Amino acid sequence: MTRARAAIAGVVATTLALATTETLLAVLPGTGSLFVAVGNAVIGATPGPIVSFAIDTFGSANRLVLLSSMMVGMSGAGALIARASVRRRWIAPVGFGLFGVAGAAAGAADATITTSSAVLATAGGVVVGTAALAKVLDVLRGGESTPEPLQDGTEIEPQATRRRFLGWTVALAGSAGVLLATGRFLQDRAATTVARTTTDLAAPAQPLPLPPAGASLDVDGISPLVTPNEDFYRIDTAFTIPRVDASTHRIAFTGMVDRPFEVTFDELLDLADTEMDVTLSCVSNQVGGDLIGTARWLGVPLADLLERAGVQAGADQIVGRSVDGWTGGFPVEAAFDGRPAIIAVGMNGEPLPARHGYPARLVIAGLYGYVSDTKWLSEIELTTFDAFDAYWVPRGWSALGPIKTQSRIDVPRDSASVDAGTVAVAGVAWSDEHGVSAVEISVDDGPWQPADLADELATTTWRQWIYRWEASAGNHVLRVRATDADGRPQTADISPPAPDGATGHHTIRVSVA
């Protein structure tokens, strides 16, 4: 019984140590979370296929799953430390001390946490956690109480000891809860303060017209032509949204340039007069998946800023670096070949939401986000593919990531039941920056039949389509394929997202009454 209660005390003490650390970090210099820093370190050390599996399996919930797993693991370790410390008192300070060393190292390596803050916060957490565990273990050891004998001579634990254990455990657990809530409140308040920085978007020099009426089909369940900001997918390696003070933020242009310089956020706002409609897609998007969205972006053409820096001969890679150290790299020619390629500050008529890169991010049409669309942008470095591998390349992904032609059936849903007669089969199709020229449907592996395309918003966005199917009773299989602007139909070959994007035809099964 004593060891079981010691395990409970270890879990509580570990949680209290973590809560103390997070609260201290909320008031010390820096903007990060030590728990998140450890998560980033775990991700950095995790083989690429495992990271890809997590994204494929859990989608945007992969961060929550990892952080929850980390919490379970830490709690389990705390329970083991406490059980071993019942008879060996020295194990508790050593065990918590090792926790502290690992946490401080992860914090010091995190770009959002200062080294001094990481050390001070972890030291505070170790001291509080060790002291709390020592106190509860002293209670469990009985203090000055003596066992109470039963009539048959069996000795039982004094009721006073049980009451004191329960009292201390509840008090420490409550303290951990208060500290966690306080730390979270302080961090959220700081993030809110940063997000509320006054951001007046400049009027575009040549505003894009409203989307043509013919670009949006009136079909229930079809993906909207433009994805609302709150519904836009988010896949990145940041466990918490970086808090960037726009009033002091700068983006540096470095590497193989003649004139290195920095541009402030205020300067970007003054220069941001270019609107572009672009569909972004995650390379982890499965065939028929939803890790894709379309927005109207406002920003500064990347080519203008690169011309100001002066790109040196031989540079063939542009590397975008985030404030948290993440990197994505893409060919230099993508900034100069006429495709939309901007440092964006606005999204669908609003300043960039924090979760989508506030205050500034890259948007490069025709490329998967893992190579191009750096959020929370802090640096643009000119280099070569031979000299530098961006974040995902050593983890098994391709250095080049052109978007592959794909299409998706939005309605009816897979396994849906519909009535016989005319059924609207509809969805979206997309390709690289050159656009989509045709969409076709096959029913029960029959011949490909042309679908009707909505008007094109831009070659760089997805395109809605509809096929009016005369459905007969029974179970049916529907497939879709798109053809790009150069007349190449998407391949039927099935491949997973790794290393450079999934392929295959989106296929659904429908029951017709």
Task: List domains and CATH numbers for the chain.
Answer: 2-195 (no CATH), 213-395 (3.90.420.10), 406-512 (2.60.40.650)
> CA dist 468 to 341, 423, 455, Å?
37, 6, 17
Q: Name the pLDDT band for 150 (thresholds 50, 70, 90).
A: very low
Look at residue 64 in the predicted model and tell me its pLDDT. Answer: 67
pLDDT surpasses 60 at 151: no
The amino acid sitting at 211 is P
Cβ contact 255:383 at 8 Å: yes
Q: Which residue has the higher pLDDT, 30 or 221?
A: 221
Work out the angle between the directed axes of helices 62-85 and 2-27 (0-180°, nearest 10): 130
The 10s digit of each residue's pLDDT in 197-222 is 456 787 788 889 999 999 999 999 99
The pLDDT assigned to 207 comes to: 87
Q: What is the DSSP code (8-state) at residue 413?
A: P
**DSSP conformation class of 211:** P
Tell me, what amino acid is at 145? S
- Given pLDDT bands bounded at 50, 70 and 90, which one contains residue 22? confident
Distance in angstroms (rounded) separating the CA atoms of residues 87 and 97: 18
Whether residue 96 is predicted with pLDDT greater than 70 in this model: the reply is yes
> What angle is formed at CA 249 by the lines to CA 247 and CA 255, rounded to 5 degrees?
155
Q: How confident is the model at residue 143 (pLDDT cuts 50, 70, 90)?
A: very low
8 Å CB contact between 331 and 341: no
Which of 46, 40, 38, 20 is CA-nearest to residue 105?
Answer: 38
Q: Which residues pair with 484 in a beta bridge?
A: 436
Is the pLDDT score of 146 beyond 50?
no
- Can you tell me the mean pLDDT for 460-469? 98
* Predicted local distance difference test score (pLDDT) of residue 118: 86
- Helix (H/G/I), strand (E/B), else coil: 69: helix
- Condensed to tens digits (0 to 9), the pLDDT of residues 342-385 reads 999 999 999 999 999 999 999 999 999 999 999 999 999 999 99
Pairing type for strands 421-430 and 436-443 reads: unpaired
3-state secondary structure of 466: strand
Q: Cβ distance 60 to 235 under 8 Å?
A: yes
* Distance (Å, whole) CA 167 – CA 48: 46
Q: What average pLDDT does this structure show over 292-320?
A: 98
**pLDDT grade, residue 71 (50/70/90)?**
confident
Q: Over 80: is that where the pLDDT of 451 sits? A: yes
Instruction: Give the pLDDT confidence score for residue 153 in this predicted structure.
Output: 47
Distance separating alpha carbons of residues 276 and 340, to the nearest angstrom? 6
Instruction: Kindly report the pTM of this predicted structure.
Output: 0.74
The answer to whether 375 and 328 have CB atoms below 8 angstroms apart is no
Identify the pLDDT of residue 74. 84
Q: Give the model's pLDDT for residue 245.
A: 83
- pLDDT of residue 44 exceeding 80, the answer is no
pLDDT for residue 163 is more than 60: yes
pLDDT at residue 235 is higher than 60? yes
Three-state DSSP class for residue 245: coil
Q: pLDDT tens digits, residue range 475-489?
A: 999 999 999 999 999
Specify the range with the lowest mean pLDDT, choosing from 27-36, 70-79, 195-204, 482-491: 195-204
> Could you tell me which of 107, 140, 137 has the C-alpha nearest to residue 124?
107
Among 427, 496, 44, smallest CA distance to 219 is for 427
Q: What are phi and psi of 103, to 5 degrees?
A: -65, -45
Lowest mean pLDDT among 125-139, 253-267, 341-355: 125-139
Residue 282, both tokens = 């995650």
Q: What is the 3-state secondary structure (H, E, C) of 283-324?
A: CCCCCCCCCEEEEEEEEEEHHHHHHHHCECCCCCEEEEEECC
Scan for tokens 């150069």, then name that residue: 486
Query: 226: which residues sit within 8 A by CB, 6+ positions away?
Result: 211, 277, 294, 295, 296, 348, 457
